[in-house]
């Protein structure tokens, strides 16, 4: 190649690199927007999966039996995304509220909420059933 054309090739290379970077950024921002919109409408599935995850190793039932509402609040806060508000209420067999403290991370009154109901049963010989009502809402900015 001639030395005179070396500068032109470098300019073309830089333009191609800029176009690749710009197009990848443009595509990634569109994908991120679509995922956020879809996530707002799939709160029911997300909440049910979180409750199943917490119940799979017995942690959910253990915390309910011991009345450890702070630990439940922390588990939900760690498991759910930060932009999701939650409020959990636990009822016994006679539909009396069991939790004596609020298990929530914010005010759901101004948000569109989704309610998930989940039944947690005891793994022990003494059979106890709890109905868990989990309210979820996405923070809109």
Report the pLDDT value the prediction gives residue 39, as an integer from 0 to 100.
45
pLDDT classification of 22: cutoffs 50, 70, 90: low
Report the pLDDT value the prediction gives residue 10, as an integer from 0 to 100.
79
Report the pLDDT value the prediction gives residue 73, as an integer from 0 to 100.
92
Report the pLDDT value the prediction gives residue 41, as an integer from 0 to 100.
55
- The CA distance from 63 to 79, in Å, is 15
Q: In what order do the strands lie in the sheet with 113-121?
A: 103-104, 84-91, 129-138, 113-121
Domain count, the chain: 2
**What token pair was written down for 51?**
């409750």
Please tell me whether residues 55 and 28 are part of one structural domain: no
Please determine, for residue 131, whether its predicted confidence score (pLDDT) is greater than 90.
Answer: yes
Report the pLDDT value the prediction gives residue 111, as an integer from 0 to 100.
76
Report the pLDDT value the prediction gives residue 124, as an integer from 0 to 100.
76
Please tell me whether residues 91 and 129 are part of one structural domain: yes
Report the pLDDT value the prediction gives residue 89, as an integer from 0 to 100.
95
Q: Taking the complete model, does pTM exceed 0.75, yes or no?
A: no
Please determine, for residue 31, whether its predicted confidence score (pLDDT) is greater than 60.
Answer: no
Report the pLDDT value the prediction gives residue 127, as an integer from 0 to 100.
82
Please tell me whether residues 19 and 60 are part of one structural domain: no
Please tell me whether residues 14 and 71 are part of one structural domain: no
> What pLDDT digit, counting tens, does each position of 102-119 carry?
999 888 777 788 899 999
Domain that holds residue 23: 3-37
Please tell me whether residues 64 and 33 are part of one structural domain: no
């Amino acid at each position: 190649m001639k030395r005179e054309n070396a500068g032109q090739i470098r300019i073309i290379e830089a333009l191609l690199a800029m176009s690749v970077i710009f197009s990848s950024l443009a595509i990634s921002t569109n994908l991120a927007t679509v995922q956020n919109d879809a996530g707002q409408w799939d709160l029911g599935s997300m909440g049910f999966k979180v409750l199943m995850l917490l119940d799979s190793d017995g942690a959910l039932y253990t915390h309910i039996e011991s009345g450890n509402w702070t630990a439940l609040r922390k588990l939900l806060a760690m498991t759910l995304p930060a932009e999701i508000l939650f409020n959990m209420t636990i009822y016994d067999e006679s539909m009396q509220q069991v939790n004596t403290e609020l298990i929530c991370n914010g005010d759901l009154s101004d948000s569109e909420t989704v309610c998930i109901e989940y039944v947690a049963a005891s793994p022990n010989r003494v059979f106890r059933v709890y109905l868990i009502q989990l309210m979820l809402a996405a923070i809109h900015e």
